[in-house]
Amino acid sequence: MEPLLEVQNLHVWYRVYGGYSKVLNGVNFLVNKGERVGLVGEAGCGKTTTMKTILRILPDQVSKIAQGKILFNGQDILQMNGNALQRIRSQGIAMIFQDPTAALNPVFTVGEQLSDVIRFSLRSIAQRKVEKKSIKQVAMQALKDVSMPDQERILGTYPIQLSGGMRQRVCISMAITTKRELLIADEPGTSLDVTIQDQILRLLHELVKQQNTSIILITHSLGVAREMTDRIYVMYAGTMVETAKADELFANPLHPYTLGLLASVPKLTGGGIAKGIPGRLPDYRNPPPGCRFSPRCPRAMPVCEFSPPPFFDVGYEHKVACYLFQESRND
């Protein structure tokens, strides 16, 4: 398998009252070509910051990329100039946001917004102007691909005239109009009802399979990640704590945080929920120097408090950032 996106030791800080908020603290992860990767974590753990850094859409005045590399097809996104970056955004990576209502401009029709996207990306590929007629064709096809009925009419509607599910379909159609190598979906179904979320996730799943695109699915829901992705990264307080194939992770979760999270999820089988994880996220302005989970960890050891754990390979492509698994290998 060929690596498509590789994030190495990424540190991102925000400028806040009283210094810097050290949000990302050495994030490492890898997406292979054609792979579906899940990024799971709770609110405030840095999932969205990571993705915004990859697309270089973090606001400059308040943020600072302190350290790290983001290799996309071997090139470092953080070192790119405006033109190269524009090419990445128009051809390489597309993003689908959590709230389709905020992602669409309310004063332009779906058709206008869709054809803008198509025009830019086609022009960037073909390096010339594109005719109006072919843009419309591509737009119609894009809407058809996301199973929207009556495409001609939809092109003339304003986002407010569509339901939440339909808006998210429009957003997805914008992301897939021209074939991208990587799709980043930031909680694509969270603001929608469970049946609609199911429809949207199934749609994404099919599109990704058809086009052989890689996808990073950011979600707070372990269930969504389990059903939709091949490999999962669990993130806590700006660090990756565990990664494994989806089946392996749920059959054999190792990191104390993953265990706590999994126990907190209410199950359909009933029987109550665990007590949750005690404590709260660390203060990013002054985070614990060692493992960032150690203050809340039921199995913390002295070493955890001063030295951040690297990834330990436990076999079966399963890695854990926890000193408990320093020597154990389960193969």
Partner 1 sequence: MTASSQTQAPILPHHFHKPSVIVRFRENLRKSWFKYSRNKLSVIGLVVVLLVVLTAIFAPLVSPYPQHASAFVDFENAGQPPSLRNLLGTDVFGRDILSRIFFAFRGALLMSIVVLAIAVPIGVLLGLIAGYYKNTWIDTLIMRTTDVFLAIPPIILALAIASVLTPNLMNSMIAVTVMWWPWYTRLVYGMASSCRNEYFVIAAELTGASKAHILFREILPNCLSPVFTKMALDVGWVILISASLSFVGLGEQPPTPALGQMVSDGARYMPDLWWYAVFPGLAIVIVILGFNLMGDGLRDMLEQRMG
Partner 2 sequence: MTDILQIRKLKKYFVVGKNADGPIYLRAVDGVSVDIHEVETFGIVGESGSGKSTIAYTVMGMYKPTAGEMIFKGQNIAMEVSRRAHHLKKELQIVFQDPGSSLNPLRSIRQLLELPLRLHNVVPPNQIEEKIVELLEKVELPPDYMYKSTPSIGGGEKQMVAIARALAAGPSFIVLDEPTSALDVSVQAKIINKLLDLQQELSLTYMFITHDLSLMRNMANRVAIMYLGRICELATAKEFFEQPLHPYTRMLLSSIPTVSVEEDRMKPKKVISIGEIPSPVNIPSGCSFHLRCPESDSRCVKEDPEMVEVRLGHWVRCHQFPSTYSAGEQTMPRPNKF
Q: Kindly list the residues in this chain that would bind partner 2 in the complex (CB under 8 A).
A: 42-43, 163, 165-166, 193-199, 201, 220-224, 226-228, 250, 260-277, 280
260 binds, among partner 2, partner 1, none (CB under 5 to 8 A by kind): partner 2
17 binds, among partner 2, partner 1, none (CB under 5 to 8 A by kind): partner 1
Going across the sheet that includes 93-96, the strands are 93-96, 182-186, 214-219, 36-40, 231-236, 239-245, 319-320, 312-313
Q: Of 207, 209, 234, nearest to 222 (Cα)? A: 234
Closest to partner 2 by CB, 112 or 227: 227
Closest contact distance (angstroms) between CB of 181 and partner 2 is: 26
Centroid of chain to Cα 271: 32
Beta bridge partners of 31: 5
Closest to partner 2 by CB, 273 or 303: 273
Closest contact distance (angstroms) between CB of 64 and partner 1 is: 16
Q: How far apart are CA 219 and CA 186, in angstroms?
A: 7
Residue type, 142: A
Closest to partner 1 by CB, 129 or 275: 275
Note whether 195 binds partner 1 by CB under 8 A. Answer: no
Closest to partner 2 by CB, 253 or 288: 253
Q: Among residue numbers 268 through 297, which ones bind partner 1 (CB under 8 A)?
A: 275, 278
Closest contact distance (angstroms) between CB of 38 and partner 2 is: 11
Closest contact distance (angstroms) between CB of 251 and partner 1 is: 30
**Pairing, β 36-40 against β 214-219:** parallel
Closest contact distance (angstroms) between CB of 276 and partner 1 is: 11
**Pairing, β 36-40 against β 75-76:** unpaired
Under a CB-based contact definition with an 8 Å cutoff, are residues 175 and 93 in contact? no
Q: How far apart are CA 276 and CA 263, in angstroms?
A: 7
Closest contact distance (angstroms) between CB of 164 and partner 2 is: 8
The contacts of residue 190 (CB under 8 Å, 6+ apart) are: 98, 197, 219, 220, 221
Closest to partner 1 by CB, 284 or 325: 284
Q: How far apart are CA 66 and CA 9, in angstroms?
A: 10
Q: Going residue by residue from 4 to 43, which x/- string records binding to partner 1, judged by CB under 8 A?
A: -------------x--------------------------
Closest contact distance (angstroms) between CB of 62 and partner 1 is: 10
What is the binding site for partner 1 (CB under 8 A)?
17, 275, 278
